[in-house]
Amino acid sequence: MLELYLVRHGQTEASRDGRFCGALDPPLTDVGLRMAELLGSAYADKNLVGLYSSPSRRARDTIAPLAARLGIEPVVDVRLAEISYGEFEGLTPVEARARAPEAFAYWQADSAGRAPPGGETAFQVAARAALAVERVKREHPDGRVLIVSHKATTRILICALLGLDVRLFRERIALPVAAVTRFAIGPRGAMLTRLGDDSHLPAELRELEGT
């Protein structure tokens, strides 16, 4: 059986301020770097056999302390990148609505099946991210593997692994920064064993405002 840990990266200024951030690549804040260190401390003794990461700096910097502790070089897979928000990149929802009210309303009416101008749909993300998970399953049919990715991409993957309608990824699944979701994957499919676990962070970090 494969035990799969899906991790959202640590805090960035964009996540803290609630800004759309897909193709943009802001660094971790000082808080985010602390989250990465705490993740490394908490998961260094899990007997992990593989590490995978989105190519974004914020994901690679989140997995770096754990990788250093384990002596494992993370595999960077572009298919684990965050959903692209196109013309809405860097904006808050309020700013995006004010700048392009018709396009924003069209997207919000079906934010999984429709894309922001120049962006991606959730279905496109599901297709590419699922292939990244299939790669992990081929390379590690058993053991424990940890993946660092992003908020939307991870929520979409959770839906896909559970056979849920991907359209529900925003409305049904919460995922704090640096949180860990765990699946046990065997012959009968994927079983969710932990969702959005941030118990490796102290209370003052878990209770911060923002996403």
User: Minimal CA–CA distance to 200: which of 66, 47, 67?
Assistant: 66
How far apart, in Å, are the Cα atoms of 61 and each of 57, 101, 148, 185? 6, 35, 10, 27
Considering the candidates 140, 150, 151, 155, report the single residue annotated as catalytic.
Answer: 150
Angstrom distance (rounded) from CA 30 to CA 35: 9
- Considering only CA atoms, which of 3, 205, 170 is closest in space to residue 93? 170
Strand, helix or coil for residue 49: strand
Active site (annotated) includes residue 150: yes
Q: Give me the catalytic one of 2, 3, 8, 9.
A: 9
Q: How far does CA 203 lie from the centroid of its chain?
A: 21
Catalytic sites, residue numbers: 9, 150
